[in-house]
Amino acid sequence: MKAGMFKPLKNKAYRSLFGAQVFSDLGNWLDFVAIQVIVAYHWGLGETAIASVIIVMGIPWVIIGPLTSVFVDKLPKKFLMITCLVLRIVFVAGLFFAPNLYVMLLFIFLKSTVAALYDPARQSAIRHTVPEEELPEAVTLSQLSVNTMKIVGPALGGGLIALYGVKSPFLFEAMGFLIAIFFLIALPKIETDTESQHASSRKGTYFMDLSEGVRHIFSTGVLKTAIILSSIAFFIIFLYDGLFVFVAQNLRFEQEEFGWLVSSVGFGSVVGALLLGRWTDWKNKPIHLMAGASLLSGLLIVLIGLGSKGLFDLPKPGWMAGAFLLGLLASAEGVPYGYVLQSETPKQMMGRVSAAATSLQTFSMLGAPAAGAVLARWIGVSWVLIGAGIATFILGSTVLLLRSKQSGKNASLNSFSG
């Protein structure tokens, strides 16, 4: 084993950031479960209400995050993150006492707005505290936290609701954010090249600084490819993500067994992150790994779609194994993307670039569930899944082909110049 994926945790600053992220990620998933249960079961509202929750959650990431990212790059990261966590506790209290959907949507919007400030600040703090050679491991640990909490959060949220009532996850979420604050209080001062930032702010206006992050994305080939690839992939995933419960029904999974299928995806993503953290040679060709994972995911999604259509059958453990592989391949796309975002972005622009990239991804996801629902009514759930798999395969194979051609050209030029 090489240096190991846990090496960045020896760094006190990163250890504080990672500890805060674990409890923040856990809180986010506790929140997501509680809101859906309250809206659908406690208040008896339908699909439109759930859709409004998802849209209101996403809007701040698309609009407010990028617009405020200039200030994220210039403000002290530790102060900003602690302030965001304090505000999140306040807004979680608002969710706890919300008497109806409209008040709940207001506090969801406010909490998502603060989260859209917190995440670019966290990304920027990682870039300023982790040495270049440890970035793959640091990004992998961050992805590991996200993937693990996708499993732990919903399971814990469901248990808390059963034991203590429908609103109890909000209390535990607030406690998680409070623990995250204590981790950040221990965060050492982050050195952020303030002199160069002050010089930049004197030379340019707000809009010049804002556009600088977008220009950097489109002028950096690897970063641009990674963001576009992940944004398109997210759109395709969210075409069928909301329909996955109906796919499970077609595969003869009972209501209580659906959780097994979802947990298999989550478990696969955790294992994938662990494997990528142990072997980091992929950092030499991260786009190739992303595209290859997309290609294989496409084939797997088509097979699941064909099974949902009834064209062939597997025992339930076989379908769970397929879901596990889908999660593993999702990590093979997510971890390299995070590494490219960190390694191809100057430290002083991390907030702006991260917010712009997240905005593009979230924007691509917002319309996908509605489009998937319309397509499902038109051609059926199974064909939506098959079509999404074909599109994912084409996306991965096209990017892989283009990158291979470019690598071949670069090798020829180096040989000629040599």
pLDDT bracket for residue 188 (50, 70, 90) = confident
pLDDT, tens digit, 9 for 90 and up, residues 174-183: 999 999 999 9
Q: Which residue has the higher pLDDT, 370 or 412?
A: 370
Q: Which residue, chain included where needed, has tokens 């600084």?
A: 209
Inside any domain, residue 348: yes
Inside any domain, residue 48: yes
Q: Stretch 285-298: mean pLDDT, rounded?
A: 93
Does residue 101 register a pLDDT over 90? Answer: yes
CATH of the domain at 150: 1.20.1250.20
Mean pLDDT of the chain: 83
Does residue 206 register a pLDDT over 90? Answer: no
Q: Stretch 90-114: mean pLDDT, rounded?
A: 95
100 and 237 share a domain?
Answer: no
57 and 132 share a domain?
Answer: yes
180 and 238 share a domain?
Answer: no
pLDDT, tens digit, 9 for 90 and up, residues 328-355: 998 899 889 888 988 888 877 887 888 8
176 and 210 share a domain?
Answer: no
Q: What is the pLDDT of residue 258?
A: 67
Q: What is the pLDDT of residue 410?
A: 56
d(CA 66, CA 356): 5
pLDDT, tens digit, 9 for 90 and up, residues 406-416: 766 554 444 44
361 and 302 share a domain?
Answer: yes
Q: What is the pLDDT of residue 67?
A: 79
DSSP letter string, 189-236: PPP--HHHHHHHHHHS-HHHHHHHHHHHHHH-HHHHHHHHHHHHHHHH
- The two tokens of residue 247 are 């796919």
- Point out the least confidently predicted range of 123-127, 231-235, 292-296, 363-367: 363-367
187 and 222 share a domain?
Answer: no
Q: What is the pLDDT of residue 415?
A: 45
d(CA 337, CA 361): 12
143 and 186 share a domain?
Answer: yes
Report helix, strand or coil for 380: coil
Q: What is the pLDDT of residue 202?
A: 46
Q: What is the pLDDT of residue 418?
A: 46
Instruction: Classify each residue of 117-145 as buried b or exposed e, where b means 16 or more C-beta atoms within 10 Å of its C-beta.
Output: bbbbbbbbbbbbbbeeebbbbbbbbbbbb
Residue pair 253/309 in contact (Cβ under 8 Å)? The answer is no
**Percent of the chain residues past pLDDT 70, beyond the cut:** 89
d(CA 228, CA 360): 8
Does residue 390 register a pLDDT over 90? Answer: yes
d(CA 394, CA 328): 20
Inside any domain, residue 418: no
Angle between helices 194-203 and 64-74 (to 10 degrees): 120
182 and 265 share a domain?
Answer: no
Q: Which residue, chain included where needed, has tokens 């690598």?
A: 407
214 and 311 share a domain?
Answer: yes
Q: What is the pLDDT of residue 413?
A: 44
Out of 167, 193, 219, pick the residue that ends a domain: 193
Q: What is the pLDDT of residue 1?
A: 40
Please give the tally of structural domains in the chain.
2
Inside any domain, residue 416: no
Inside any domain, residue 215: yes
Which residues does 310 contact at the CB level (< 8 Å), separation at least 6? 250
pLDDT bracket for residue 200 (50, 70, 90) = very low
Inside any domain, residue 131: yes
Q: Stretch 73-101: mean pLDDT, rounded?
A: 93
137 and 162 share a domain?
Answer: yes
Out of 161, 193, 225, pick the residue that ends a domain: 193
pLDDT bracket for residue 98 (50, 70, 90) = very high
DSSP letter string, 20-87: HHHHHHHHHHHHHHHHHHIIIIIS---HHHHHHHHHHHHHHHHTHHHHHHHHHHHS-HHHHHHHHHHH
d(CA 14, CA 74): 20
250 and 302 share a domain?
Answer: yes
pLDDT bracket for residue 199 (50, 70, 90) = very low
d(CA 249, CA 228): 33
- Point out the least confidently predicted range of 127-136, 310-319, 362-371, 394-403: 362-371
Q: Which residue has the higher pLDDT, 192 or 82?
A: 82
Q: Which of 388, 340, 373, 345 shows the shortest CA–CA distance to 47? A: 373
Which residues does 318 contact at the CB level (< 8 Å), separation at least 6? none
Out of 169, 193, 217, pick the residue that ends a domain: 193
Q: What is the pLDDT of residue 255?
A: 61
Q: Which residue, chain included where needed, has tokens 């403000």?
A: 75
Q: Which of 325, 304, 302, 327 shows the shortest CA–CA distance to 388? A: 302
Phi, psi of 405 (to 5 degrees): -65, -40
pLDDT, tens digit, 9 for 90 and up, residues 36-56: 788 877 888 876 787 788 788
Q: Which of 22, 23, 35, 57 shows the shortest CA–CA distance to 238? A: 57
Q: What is the pLDDT of residue 93?
A: 96
Q: What is the pLDDT of residue 287?
A: 92
**Percent of the chain residues past pLDDT 90, beyond the cut:** 27
Inside any domain, residue 66: yes
- The two tokens of residue 361 are 């991804």
pTM score: 0.75
Inside any domain, residue 121: yes
85 and 177 share a domain?
Answer: yes
285 CB-contact burial (10 Å; exposed 0-12 / middle 13-18 / buried 19+): middle
Structural domain for 248, as ranges: 206-411
H helices present in 279-380, as ranges: 286-309, 316-343, 350-366, 368-379
pLDDT, tens digit, 9 for 90 and up, residues 295-319: 999 999 999 999 998 888 899 899 9
pLDDT bracket for residue 417 (50, 70, 90) = very low
d(CA 358, CA 354): 6
Q: Which residue, chain included where needed, has tokens 């959060």?
A: 153
